Amino acid sequence: EQKTRDSGRVDCMYQEYSAAIGIFLASTHTIFRTGLRNLLSREPDLRIVGEAGEAAETVKLIEETNPDVLLLDWPLRGLAKDGQLGGLRMLFDKTRTLLLSSGAEHVDPAEALREGAGGLVLKNSGSDMLIQGIRNLAQGQYWVGDAATADRRTAVNRAAGHIQPVQPKVFNLTARELEVVQEVVSGYSNREIADRLTISEDTVKHHLSNIFNKVGVYNRLELALFAIHHGLTRSLGRDGDSARNEE
């Protein structure tokens, strides 16, 4: 069944390199998990032990896989409610957790650390910052933005003034193009997007061609990762109403 294949997995390919740092990926976005898996799998000292797309599956599978670090894309389906972090304690208590967030409007970094997170990395950070954060958490340190610290109190103090809200750029995309981006991130095909937006499939292809040119990507996977990284899906709330009138 599709949900089982996409939302949770512990495969035999994850059993290699037992001496490496074991990482569990938790993200609502399947394409984003794929991008993270491809990125982290290139590092010889890192191994992916499992992944999930929702809270209940994450809790179940991290108990089975016992990762060194949980890489948690916030907000996570089934756990996030009005931006509150209290529900994350059940995960923080099980394994060291590195939060991935689009900015302070999604999660208060100081609160996350007080609740038990091991660190936080913004999605607009370089991949080297993410990898360093994972390695430092595995060594028992805390990670805030781009630097490690040895104790929670220092990390909380740094986090309070370190991470500011990120305002998403829209890269000159129209409101309708932003809607198409949202549908691609959600995993819908061109035909499904056409049905959902009540436009023709040819129009969807035309929009995608324009979007690819504007943001400089070459396929749907690159577009989805680009959109999540730059917070493009958060721009839809501002422009979405006008999109209903565009073809």
| Tens of pLDDT, residues 87-131 | 566 666 668 888 887 764 456 667 777 777 888 887 777 788 899
Label the pairing between strands 147-149 and 142-144: antiparallel
Please classify residue 203 by burial: count the beta carbons closer than 10 Å to its beta carbon, then call 0-12 exposed, 13-18 middle and 19+ buried.
middle
- Among 39-43, 45-49, 87-91, 242-246, the minimum mean pLDDT is found in 242-246
CA proximity to 184, closest of 198, 194, 174: 194
pTM score over 0.75: no
More confident residue, 20 or 245: 20
Share of the chain above pLDDT 90, in %: 21
Looking at residue 103, its pLDDT comes to 60
Average pLDDT over residues 131-159: 79
Give all strands (DSSP E) within the chain, no chain letters: 8-9, 21-26, 46-52, 69-73, 96-101, 119-122, 142-144, 147-149
Rounded to 5 degrees, what angle do the CA atoms 98, 101, 107 make? Answer: 95
Of residues 189 and 233, more confidently modeled: 189
At 79, is the secondary structure helix, strand, or coil? coil
